[in-house]
């Protein structure tokens, strides 16, 4: 997009900051609204069945006619073990045992009973529907439904599609499903893929990746047992008792790309408000588990932290309301984002100064910005929301919840113990260095995310991106990176950016071509590893002759400083371009050298081996290495425990 058009969008956006948050309606529109859904659905909690019907109003935004329609039927990933999702999940170690523990009633499915086109012409398409598998040709996969059209829908034309279906709610898969009388319902209705100029972008459901869809208006009527609170995307506009022990809750929201909801008779409801001198107010609604009643303010406080810092750094949250869901114990629904709603996740006995529930709350609230407002393709470029959000989460946490400490849980996870001598650090813990280090070579970020090796993709998507962004912050300065990220946000809100869009904005914002950096961190799986190979400092007549050899052990290249410290306190700082495999620095000085450090300010957070970054002439080397490796173990343990569940 050209600069002039971007300027116009910024002007439009600034006029809608005062949107009231109470109706879900936004005028003028923020997004193209080319995929809007009116849905009516009834949940029978006893049989765990959803009966639904929907009307989709879809406009062809591309330059090509659409000869067919493609829909996601995500819940068919959980029909049996032959779906692509389950086959991929089986590449992990525990899937088979978990599958075997499920009764027939604990699997999921969605069955479309009718598909009709009602505009621009009328046609019953039910008989022509069939499943396709564009990603892997798996004939057993039923997560993409294709419906051919007798004549194509021309560019600019709006089509209206009516679909009826029934679905069975599984015991939770992928944060969706039921446990007891707790229901979390997501990715649950037949949903159009995204038509692009190249054709439909409608991937099968994969074990390692998430979602992609166009923006629109959601107008959804949910019928559940009377007395069961409902939380959902958007704002409740109506609630009426049907007189048969069911109540219908109607929710509405403009300018979002998905709709999720939850119901359970156990929920407690709390409300609070976010206010800020320059950002629009946000009404916060929390549905939480009774055993966590004393943690309500911590959820609100972490959500405020997100709305404040992400709002100040990137751009305002425009919807005026947000719903926080604290899911049931062992529901498996925690830590997931949906438009204007997210699931957090806490535990009974959550000590202060430990970032549970704050870490997960900030991360999932943060997805309102990276995923909700800026809508990248999570099947293909998951790093664009998860990586930017992981970086932002750590940055926001560091503003408010510093210091925070390592906590481990004992006695089956019930009793937490806080290690006050292990302070968690933004750069290493928050950016999840240990996980990246373990999986650094597993994939390059150019690989479509759904093709990452399932159990290691997260390290590349989340950790590596956050580490290279934090490296950019330490290298270019926060004002420059903040300008880059806020410009990316302004250009691409309510749209679908591709990686090159971020890279172009980054080079513009930095005032220099950063292509060489993205070639390494995005287009390659090479690792960075700089180290001090040798330090000598020997008497030569009335002086000391000092030699320092620094080495590039990894394939990736980045400029690094080299700091040589002498016993009399003198320091020499060299700026090495890092290109050659090694470099010699030599000094003749009156003082003997004490130590040499490569990258002493830890700019390059992607360096996979820190133990070789410094050498000292005093006999402290082995002690330092032991200290480092102990810290690595703690970091690794923490990453596994604290972060593994975040999406």
List residues near Zn ion by CB under 5 A.
386, 647
470 HSE (CA, 13 A, CB side): 32
User: Is the C-alpha dihedral spanning 410, 413, 419, 423 positive or negative?
Assistant: positive
DSSP reduced 3-state for 607 = strand
Closer to Zn ion by Cβ: residue 388 or 514:
388
Paired tokens of 315: 């751009």
Residue 110's H or E segment, with its range, is strand 109-119
Q: Looking at beta carbons only, is 381 or 386 nearer to Zn ion?
A: 386
| Residue where the block lists tokens 């997960």 | 360
Least distance from Zn ion to the Cβ atom of residue 293, Å? 27
Considering the complex, state which of residue 475 and residue 492 has its C-beta at the smaller distance from Zn ion.
492
Kindly provide the b/e burial profile for residues 339-359, where b requires at least 16 CB atoms within 10 angstroms of the residue's own CB. Answer: bbbbbbbbbeebeeebbbbbb
CB of 383 to Zn ion, least distance (A): 11
Nearest residue (CB) to Zn ion, 216 versus 334: 334
To Zn ion, the closest distance from the beta carbon of 371 in angstroms equals 7
User: Rounded to the nearest whole angstrom, what is the least distance from the CB of residue 390 to Zn ion in the complex?
Assistant: 7
Which is closer to Zn ion, CB of 433 or CB of 647? 647
Contact in structure between 259 and 185 (CB atoms under 8 Å): no
Give the span between the Cα atoms of 454 and 442, in whole angstroms.
10
With the C-alpha atoms ordered 361, 367, 369, 372, is the resulting torsion angle positive or negative?
negative
Residue of 519, 259, 624, 450 lying closest to 613 (CA atoms): 624
Q: How many Cβ atoms are within 10 Å of 160's Cβ, its own excluded?
A: 15
Nearer to Zn ion, 360 or 481 (CB): 360
Least separation in angstroms between CB 281 and Zn ion:
25
Q: Please count the CA atoms within 13 angstroms of the CA of 5 that sit on its side-chain side.
A: 4
- Counting every residue, how long is the chain? 647
Q: Which C-beta is closer to Zn ion: that of 249 or that of 432? A: 432
**Enclosing H/E stretch for 159:** strand 158-168
Please state the closest distance from residue 386 (CB atom) to Zn ion, in A.
5
Contact 119, 58 (CB under 8 A): no
Beta-carbon neighbour count of residue 541 at 10 Å? 7
The tally of CA atoms less than 13 A away on the side-chain side of residue 320 is 17
For residues 480 and 509, give the distance between their C-alpha atoms in angstroms, rounded to a whole number: 7
Closer residue to Zn ion, CB minimum distance, 371 or 576: 371
CA atoms within a 13 Å half-sphere pointing along the CA-CB vector of 302: 31
Supply the minimum distance, in Å, between the C-beta of residue 435 and Zn ion. Answer: 14
- Phi and psi (nearest 5°) for 411? 55, 60
Of 58 and 212, nearer to Zn ion (C-beta) is 212
Closest separation in Å from C-beta 384 to Zn ion: 11
CB closer to Zn ion out of 178 and 647 = 647
Output 386 or 599, the one with its CB closest to Zn ion: 386
Give the CA diameter of the chain. 101
Nearest residue (CB) to Zn ion, 88 versus 386? 386
Q: Give the Cα-Cα-Cα angle 612, 613, 614 (nearest 5 degrees).
A: 95
Burial category of 543 from C-beta neighbours within 10 Å (exposed 0-12, middle 13-18, buried 19 and up): middle
């Amino acid at each position: 997009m050209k600069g002039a058009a971007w300027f116009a969008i910024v002007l439009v956006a600034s006029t809608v900051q005062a949107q009231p948050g109470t109706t879900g309606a936004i005028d003028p529109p923020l997004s193209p609204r080319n995929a809007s859904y009116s849905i009516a659905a009834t949940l029978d909690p006893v049989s765990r069945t959803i009966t639904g019907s929907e009307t989709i109003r879809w406009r062809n935004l591309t330059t090509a006619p659409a000869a067919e329609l493609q829909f996601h039927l995500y819940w068919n990933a959980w029909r049996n073990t032959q779906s692509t999702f389950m086959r991929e999940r089986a590449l992990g170690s525990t899937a088979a045992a978990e599958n075997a523990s499920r009764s027939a009633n604990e699997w999921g499915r969605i069955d479309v009973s009718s598909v009709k086109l009602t505009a621009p012409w009328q046609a019953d398409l039910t008989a022509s529907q069939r499943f396709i598998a564009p990603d892997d040709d798996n004939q057993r996969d039923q997560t993409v439904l294709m419906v051919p059209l007798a004549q194509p829908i021309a560019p600019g034309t709006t089509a209206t599609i009516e679909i009826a279906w029934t679905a069975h709610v599984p015991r939770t898969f992928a944060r969706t499903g039921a446990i007891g009388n707790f229901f979390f319902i997501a990715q649950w209705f037949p949903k159009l893929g995204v038509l692009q100029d190249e054709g439909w972008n409608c991937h099968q459901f994969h074990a390692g990746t998430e979602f992609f869809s166009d923006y629109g208006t959601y107008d959804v009527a949910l019928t559940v047992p009377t007395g069961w609170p409902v939380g959902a995307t958007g704002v409740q506009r109506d609630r009426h008792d049907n007189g048969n022990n069911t109540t219908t809750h109607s929710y509405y929201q403009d300018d979002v790309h998905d709709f999720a909801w939850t119901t359970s008779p156990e929920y407690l409801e709390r409300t609070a408000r976010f206010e800020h001198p320059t950002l629009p107010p946000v009404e916060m609604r929390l549905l939480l588990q009774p055993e966590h009643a004393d943690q309500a303010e911590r959820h609100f406080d972490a959500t405020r932290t997100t709305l404040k810092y992400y709002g100040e750094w990137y751009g305002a949250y425009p919807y005026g309301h947000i719903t926080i869901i604290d899911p049931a114990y062992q529901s498996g629904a925690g830590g997931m984002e949906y438009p204007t709603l997210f699931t957090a996740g806490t535990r009974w006995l959550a000590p202060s100064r430990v970032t549970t529930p704050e870490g997960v709350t900030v991360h999932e609230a943060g997805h309102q910005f990276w995923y909700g407002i800026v809508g990248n393709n999570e099947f293909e470029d998951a790093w664009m929301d998860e990586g930017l959000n992981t970086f932002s989460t750590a940055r926001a946490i560091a503003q408010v919840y510093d210091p925070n400490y390592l906590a481990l849980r004992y006695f089956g996870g019930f009793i937490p113990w806080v290690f006050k001598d292990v302070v968690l650090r933004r750069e290493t813990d928050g950016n999840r260095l240990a996980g990246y280090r373990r999986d650094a070579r597993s994939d390059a970020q150019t690989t479509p995310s759904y093709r990452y090796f399932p159990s290691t993709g997260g390290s590349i998507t989340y950790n590596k991106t956050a580490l290279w962004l934090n490296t950019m912050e330490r290298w270019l300065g926060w004002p420059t990176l903040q300008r880059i990220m806020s410009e990316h946000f302004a250009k691409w809100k309510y749209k679908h950016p591709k990686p090159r869009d971020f890279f172009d904005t980054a080079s513009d914002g930095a005032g220099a071509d950063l292509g060489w950096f993205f070639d390494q961190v995005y287009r390659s799986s090479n690792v960075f590893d700089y180290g001090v190979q040798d330090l000598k400092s020997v008497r030569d007549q009335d002086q000391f002759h000092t030699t320092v050899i620094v080495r590039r052990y990894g394939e990736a290249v980045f400029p690094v400083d080299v700091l040589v410290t002498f016993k009399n306190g003198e320091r020499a700082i060299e700026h090495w371009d890092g290109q050659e495999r090694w470099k010699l620095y030599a000094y003749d000085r009156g003082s003997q050298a004490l130590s040499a450090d490569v990258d002493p300010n830890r700019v390059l957070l992607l360096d996979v081996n820190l133990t070789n970054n410094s050498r000292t002439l005093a006999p402290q080397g082995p002690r330092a290495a032991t200290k480092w490796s102990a810290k690595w173990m703690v970091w690794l343990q923490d990453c596994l425990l604290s972060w593994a569940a975040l999406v």
